[in-house]
Structure 1
């Protein structure tokens, strides 16, 4: 295809869908890099879910730039999940604020939009930290401005923004000690880099990139790092993530941020026009909510136990480091002592397999809603399990019949 000279509303709509698709494909890759601010392995998931909401919103929007940008900003704000999702919503809001005034966007418009995205993201975070997605977005804006100032075409501006952002992403471990300790780059930064790939897919017909193998973070960092208050941007060993929407006047938000600064960290407050998506890590859930009640109406309150999330992620990573294949796992199970009752689990995805193994499953068989294991596969796992009796956990009603057939075929 001929490269686009300008982005129209139909191209922006397609770019959001492509960005969602590539975040879906890279979700697990991004999750594995997630060690900051909390090593809970959900950055890729949260960014992908945020884009799911964006695409749902733009599907119902009129085909003009103003309506589309309003839908992108609103959809990302309402669908944002976690720290990374809320920051991403501000990035998309910044882009939308520039694009909404245009019929179509050219090279210099894109550069202005990336700068607005960087400034909006920085403004949402109470304590911006270098070496995170914020730094990568700023680098992309600088690259785009440089190329735009040289009179480069739209695709060239996107390529320059991407290459500058990629170089910055590679240097994030030099800026943030926890990344260097873990031997990884910033997870959110990688998620944002994929936005440029989505633009290049739409503007130049480039294929979306396949996920690449990433180094597993150091086990010490994943197991033990929670940070100390005042260190690495103020991330503390705080128990809970609290999120909610806040209906409040825009001029009340600075005081709200200040109040939150006394009760927690990892604070992101995104939005505008009376509606805010609020995120904090804290030990005092009540105080976090009371600060909002003093200034407006919090709703859709969500509380997550971060220690439980981190522990679950540690189990998964330990399980994944314990064996590189299903064959190794089966060999280990076959060589272990006979137990009175063994457990065979059906599950979908590498992460779930690792989690089940780390929790003591003697056999794991690939399967799920759209991929039922065969009777032979399940029977082989049962026969290999080191138990006089075997409990099969099908984890899906469609697999119960297969499990019942296995019961008739084995003597266990």
Structure 2
């Protein structure tokens, strides 16, 4: 019976973990039912712990000469080789243990108790949303175990507490109860702790009920889903070096916006492992590029998202529009359009637009940018969504009034290609006008303007500069000038979107002008609420 773990004992424990997980792998994989069945928890645990052992065996003797150093090398190796959520959690358990026993030549009972507690703390912190009834619960129970003296007493108490917590997991998660199984990750924790107790007791780990390992073809580009929503089709993992805690936290927030099962965890010495389930693979990797130099990038499509797996789309068709102005957003929402609300002075990102596209759950998505400067953004978001398996088409729209024209002819009963053609033709046939207030001095096609002058634009060309300040009469004259220019080539329907700063009576004045000069033209007025334009006009 060991009274302390030295470096050799730590190596024996790592080797025992690999052997035990190899024996139990298939059984653990088979009971992985939460939150998606047929996962790969046992395989991910084995791969992670095997990477830790290999790192320890290859490390210079000076780095693994004592127990504290050996735990540190195991933690770094597990972090670099972590697979899936369970692998990330185990890497953080080892990191916590390493922190607690740093510079300890041997690990005694109280050292082990502190190590387990610190490991459970870091493992819990690694998960964006820890769920009761998972391996986190089993780890926490083992770390909180009381009673037992010395190394053997602490290890034995931890194993017993973990086993009891594992039996309770079906009471905490309905999915486990319905399937009649315990949590797969929690069972893996018990296997690892039993291997530790076996080393302390000088025996072989318990390999009973391990099942028979079945050889199966390995496709590095396809992976079973260990956790997370089936709305996301890809698992992305990579390493980052030299990133500080604040930057890692910011990266984590970006990834939370892209998908789920997010973890950004480190070894305490500048090495970080990044893990996320998402559809926007490019966005997940680019987020890492923004803060560092990702390496050992691994992308795998989940088996349940493969072409021969169950469909992950919940509807056939959707339309997505980035929107400035609350009134316009509500108008589009009423038409069943998915909107990305963009605040005043803000620029939307490809991440945000991709998230709206994928959140529709639609197999085919049409994106209507609504502004020339948003075309590139829409194209980039579309490319990312297409990489996730959706069919996405961007219809050129230079103004919200063209978006309204396209939405008006949208018909989900048509074939997708025919519907896109109809929306494209409607947008292209809509002439657009705008009344805005100049924000700086400039030269226009209609002459020079100064800040606070009123500009009248037809199809992006300034046709009138009305000297400021932007009072009611100046805005009304600019509105009439735009309408007159648009109607010169004919038209039947005028659509007006009133901006946030549009004065009362502007729409009434436009209606009176049309009745007097173009009575055959109909007028529809909406409160758009946009801040950058006093008025937007569309002519069909």
The two structures share one fold, judged by TM-score above 0.5: yes
Deviation (angstroms), 1:246 = 2.0
User: Secondary structure of 2:147's match?
Assistant: helix
- The higher relative CO (CA closer than 8 Å, separation ≥ 6) is in 1
Q: How is 1:165-180 mapped onto 2 (pairs within 5 angstroms)?
A: 165-180=162-177
- Determine the structure 2 residue equivalent to 1:74: 76
2:243 matched to 1:246? no
Deviation (angstroms), 1:126 = 1.1
Deviation (angstroms), 1:310 = 7.9
C-alpha distance in structure 2 between counterparts of 1:266 and 1:254, whole Å:
15
**1:226-280 CA distance string (max 9 Å, x none):** 99xxxxx974521111111123223201111111111100112221432211111
2:287 matched to 1:291? yes
C-alpha distance in structure 2 between counterparts of 1:206 and 1:19, whole Å:
13
C-alpha distance in structure 1 between counterparts of 2:204 and 2:270, whole Å:
40
Q: 1:235 to 1:66 in 2, by over 3 A?
A: same
Contact 2:35 2:228 (8 Å CA) reproduced: no
Contact 1:39 1:313 (8 Å CA) reproduced: no
User: Which 5+ residue runs of structure 1 have no aligned equivalent?
Assistant: 215-224, 228-232, 315-412
2:264 matched to 1:269? yes
C-alpha distance in structure 2 between counterparts of 1:226 and 1:90, whole Å:
21
- Determine the structure 2 residue equivalent to 1:147: 147
When you count helix as a share of all residues, which structure comes out higher? 1
C-alpha distance in structure 1 between counterparts of 2:176 and 2:239, whole Å:
31
Alignment RMSD (CA, Å):
2.5
Q: 1:45 to 1:121 in 2, by over 3 A?
A: same
C-alpha distance in structure 2 between counterparts of 1:104 and 1:311, whole Å:
52
2:202 matched to 1:205? yes
User: Secondary structure of 2:138's match?
Assistant: helix
Quick one: which of 3, 26, 29 aligns to 1:28? Answer: 26
Deviation (angstroms), 1:121 = 0.5
Give 1 or 2 for the bigger CA radius of gyration: 2
C-alpha distance in structure 2 between counterparts of 1:189 and 1:39, whole Å:
15
Contact 1:38 1:310 (8 Å CA) reproduced: no
- Determine the structure 1 residue equivalent to 2:89: 87
User: Which 5+ residue runs of structure 2 have no aligned equivalent?
Assistant: 212-223, 311-540
- Determine the structure 2 residue equivalent to 1:8: 6
C-alpha distance in structure 1 between counterparts of 2:75 and 2:171, whole Å:
33
Contact 1:236 1:265 (8 Å CA) reproduced: no
When you count strand as a share of all residues, which structure comes out higher? 2
Q: How is 1:300-315 mapped onto 2 (pairs within 5 angstroms)?
A: 300-308=296-304
C-alpha distance in structure 1 between counterparts of 2:70 and 2:126, whole Å:
22
- Determine the structure 1 residue equivalent to 2:274: 278
C-alpha distance in structure 1 between counterparts of 2:136 and 2:66, whole Å:
29
User: Secondary structure of 2:239's match?
Assistant: strand
Deviation (angstroms), 1:205 = 2.0
C-alpha distance in structure 2 between counterparts of 1:235 and 1:7, whole Å:
41
Contact 1:40 1:306 (8 Å CA) reproduced: no
**1:370-411 CA distance string (max 9 Å, x none):** xxxxxxxxxxxxxxxxxxxxxxxxxxxxxxxxxxxxxxxxxx
Contact 2:84 2:275 (8 Å CA) reproduced: yes
Q: 1:32 to 1:282 in 2, by over 3 A?
A: same
Deviation (angstroms), 1:82 = 1.5
Contact 2:303 2:309 (8 Å CA) reproduced: no
C-alpha distance in structure 1 between counterparts of 2:68 and 2:58, whole Å:
13
Quick one: which of 117, 120, 123 aligns to 1:121? Answer: 123
C-alpha distance in structure 1 between counterparts of 2:209 and 2:306, whole Å:
24
C-alpha distance in structure 2 between counterparts of 1:181 and 1:311, whole Å:
28
**1:119-149 CA distance string (max 9 Å, x none):** 1101111111111111100000011xx125x
User: Secondary structure of 1:171's match?
Assistant: helix
Kindly report structure 1 stretches of 4+ aligned residues shifted beyond 3 Å.
233-236, 307-314
Name the TM-score, length of structure 2 as normaliser: 0.51
Contact 2:2 2:151 (8 Å CA) reproduced: yes
Q: 1:176 to 1:30 in 2, by over 3 A?
A: same
Deviation (angstroms), 1:308 = 4.2
**1:304-348 CA distance string (max 9 Å, x none):** 11144789999xxxxxxxxxxxxxxxxxxxxxxxxxxxxxxxxxx
Q: 1:32 to 1:112 in 2, by over 3 A?
A: same
Q: 1:311 to 1:188 in 2, by over 3 A?
A: farther
2:49 matched to 1:55? no
2:261 matched to 1:258? no
C-alpha distance in structure 2 between counterparts of 1:73 and 1:9, whole Å:
14
